[in-house]
Structure 1
């Protein structure tokens, strides 16, 4: 087992694909909204490639600036999230081992926060649906930043909420742009391999390791 010398004072978690394995449900919901409701001919893979950052940023990347009014963006976003939640609700669960990992971190005094591009509506769906809110000392959502990942603002804000310097934070992420965000924030990172292959992260120097779930024994080195 690889030895991890780094002893963080805080854990910062992305949500989708990192705490719960739900990215395919998001892709299905976006694809249905974009092709059926909005009538755009686009491939499923093309939609998946744009699934990062805020919902309005995704719509801008696909449709262009000012294609939708702010009210339309809000309506489209909520319709997509309601569709996602309806489809995923029966399968909602933490990634294997995460519940015990969170409990151990809480017991050992490590502060924890969520830094996600999800809107509060989805974060509440997960935390309240899984009774996991108790573990977190702070939440940074899409509504709390001007610029989404890969900008470092999300994780820097999460560190500030906890009162921990960035260099003492450890990020858990599942996508390259999230790892880039952590790197630009001066934070080390673990990658959960739910949605991307290890090869897609080879350019990032801040990665301590890759895990498929939170039962990986390498994580015991963090405490």
Structure 2
């Protein structure tokens, strides 16, 4: 790599922890059993990007639920996800050492996630990794969620680092799209999507299964 990065911006779910199947099950259960949507497990998977409200509006249409009901559904879904996932909560292989290596290299780090703080705190506090990150940009901190670039541009702005000096870590095509719109290079994790599902984007510098991949050596 010609230009070494000054900052790493991490998506959370599916990128730092391999939990997307648990989100998929929680959403599918609520959408079909509780709310009566006719949507398959794979169909739900395709809709799992952006804010919880965005997902509900894609499935049911804007205005179908009151804001109070949307908030109620959202927190219920997260309670179910956390109850199912907590016993499995662990960092993706190699990430602990990668975070240490980045910190020792004086690379600034931030979280840029479409999750609500309730879920972000669940991960950062239970895994005791909050100290690595200079800032956290959550669903509540942006007007427009991914694939809009605001999550990542806001994170970079808070860090004081220009977009071209940032590397984004993402597991979802829409997240990679957000990074591309932000003018940022991206490392794509293949936890939930195969490499061919990212073919529309030209900002990916590596595909990895976990953080032990030697392709990451180019970042330092």
Do they superpose with TM above 0.5?
yes
Deviation at 1:40, TM superposition (A): 2.1
Residue among 149, 154, 166 paired with 1:169: 166
Matches within 5 A, 1:47-66: 47-66=44-63
Aligned twin of 1:98: 95
Aligned twin of 1:68: 65
Q: Is the 8 A contact 1:117 1:149 kept in 2?
A: yes
Deviations 1:50-105 (A, max 9, x none): 11100000000000111100100000000000000000000000000000000111
Unpaired stretches in structure 1, ≥5 consecutive residues: none
Aligned twin of 1:206: 203
Q: Provide the aligned length of Structure 1 versus Structure 2.
A: 220
1:124 is paired with a residue whose SS is: helix
1:200 is paired with a residue whose SS is: helix
TM-score normalized by the length of structure 2: 0.98
Aligned twin of 1:149: 146
Unpaired stretches in structure 2, ≥5 consecutive residues: none
Q: Is the 8 A contact 1:19 1:95 kept in 2?
A: yes
Aligned twin of 2:181: 184
2:93 is paired with a residue whose SS is: coil
Deviation at 1:203, TM superposition (A): 2.1
Deviation at 1:43, TM superposition (A): 1.3
Q: Distance in 1 between matches of 2:219 and 2:38?
A: 47
Q: CA RMSD in A?
A: 0.8
Q: Is the 8 A contact 1:5 1:221 kept in 2?
A: no
Deviation at 1:218, TM superposition (A): 1.7
Residue among 6, 11, 31 paired with 2:28: 31
Deviations 1:116-148 (A, max 9, x none): 000000000000010010100010000011111
Q: Is the 8 A contact 1:95 1:214 kept in 2?
A: yes
Q: Distance in 2 between matches of 1:212 and 1:193?
A: 5
Q: Distance in 1 between matches of 2:2 and 2:113?
A: 27
Residue among 108, 111, 124 paired with 1:111: 108
Deviation at 1:38, TM superposition (A): 1.1
Residue among 201, 213, 218 paired with 2:215: 218
TM-score normalized by the length of structure 1: 0.97
Q: Is the 8 A contact 1:113 1:158 kept in 2?
A: yes
2:23 is paired with a residue whose SS is: helix
Q: Distance in 2 between matches of 1:10 and 1:41?
A: 42
